[in-house]
Amino acid sequence: EPEVTQTPSHQVTQMGQEVILRCVPISNHLYFYWYRQILGQKVEFLVSFYNNEISEKSEIFDDQFSVERPDGSNFTLKIRSTKLEDSAMYFCASSDSGKGHRDEAFFGQGTRLTVV
């Protein structure tokens, strides 16, 4: 069964450093997403990406964040100058193979980011 894969599973970084979280979405999906979940809180939408550009973003997704699809398979989230409050689980997701249930999103196993 195709799945979304994320690396690394856990990233520890010092405050102020830049991190890049990596994802390989399901290969025939058209939409890609990043969500985050702070420990004990609900899952929150960050950004969606379609046709090589951002299609939606939330208020959380400020200038500190950027996304990129550097090649045909990877989808990355970059966080510049990390803050303590960026510590969370970051989930990549993908959806819409162009047929069937377009809105059903499938999530990767997540990257736990710890900022110290």
Partner 1 sequence: RKEVEQDPGPFNVPEGATVAFNCTYSNSASQSFFWYRQDCRKEPKLLMSVYSSGNEDGRFTAQLNRASQYISLLIRDSKLSDSATYLCVVNIETGRRALTFGSGTRLQVQP
* Interacting residue ranges for partner 1, rule: CB under 8 A: 31, 33, 35, 41-45, 48, 50, 55-56, 58, 89, 91, 95-96, 101, 103-110, 112
Q: Considering beta carbons, is residue 1 or 63 the nearer one to partner 1?
A: 1
Give min distance, CB of 103 to partner 1, in A.
4
Q: Considering beta carbons, is residue 44 or 97 the nearer one to partner 1?
A: 44
Q: Considering beta carbons, is residue 14 or 101 the nearer one to partner 1?
A: 101
Q: Are strands 111-115 and 88-95 parallel, antiparallel or unpaired?
A: antiparallel
For 58, how many CA atoms within 13 A lie in the half-sphere containing its CB?
10
Give min distance, CB of 42 to partner 1, in A.
5
Sheet strands (E) in 1-116 = 5-7, 10-13, 19-24, 31-37, 44-50, 53-57, 65-68, 75-79, 88-95, 105-107, 111-115
